Amino acid sequence: MAEPTQLIGCIGCGAQVPDSHGPTHPYIGASPGCWAVFGQVLAKEYGEYSFPAVHRLTVDTYAVQHPGTPSRQSIQSVAVHLIGLYLALERGWEPHVIAEALGRAVPRGRDVFVWLEPPASQGAVTVLDVVGARDLSEHQALVRRWARSV
């Protein structure tokens, strides 16, 4: 019988995730257990759900909820993903239009964004609320709820 996995608070979103020593992203601030759960969500989106329209929201939401620490890469990442969330949630733009707009909004090779101190709360909904979706419809609804929370 396997021993129960100890849970810890993710350094990014605060969700209680398995305390593991697996890989993480180089500048997204997530604990290994949370990064692994995000990987499960992405695997479902790429496989079972055939790359749904909410994929852009999934990635933008996770990146914004896990801002990391001040560095050129993390600063630009958070800025780009915040712009993506704004265009999707506030403007109602489609993912392909957002991608085109972001390509024009981010000048290559220049540091034009500044570190934004993360708020005290990164949102009440996390990737843990999304990973258990039973079907595509529920997955899409949970991703949208997560994005609005963040």
pLDDT of the residue at 109: 62
Tell me if 115 is assigned to some domain. yes
The tens-digit pLDDT sequence of the chain (150 residues) is 455 579 999 999 999 999 999 999 999 999 999 999 999 999 999 999 998 999 999 999 999 999 999 999 999 999 999 999 999 999 999 999 999 998 888 777 667 889 999 998 889 999 999 999 999 999 999 999 999 999
Looking at the structure of the chain, the number of domains it has is 1
Domain assignment present for 122: yes
CA dihedral 11, 68, 77, 62 (to 10 degrees): 0
Burial of 89 (0-12, 13-18, 19+ CB in 10 A): middle
**Within 13 Å and on the Cβ side, how many CA atoms surround 41?**
28
**Contact status, residue 12 vs residue 28, Cβ threshold 8 Å:** yes
Kindly state whether residue 27 falls inside one of the protein's structural domains.
Answer: yes
**1 occurs within a structural domain:** no
Q: Would 145 be classed as within a structural domain?
A: yes
Find the domain containing 86 and state its range: 7-149
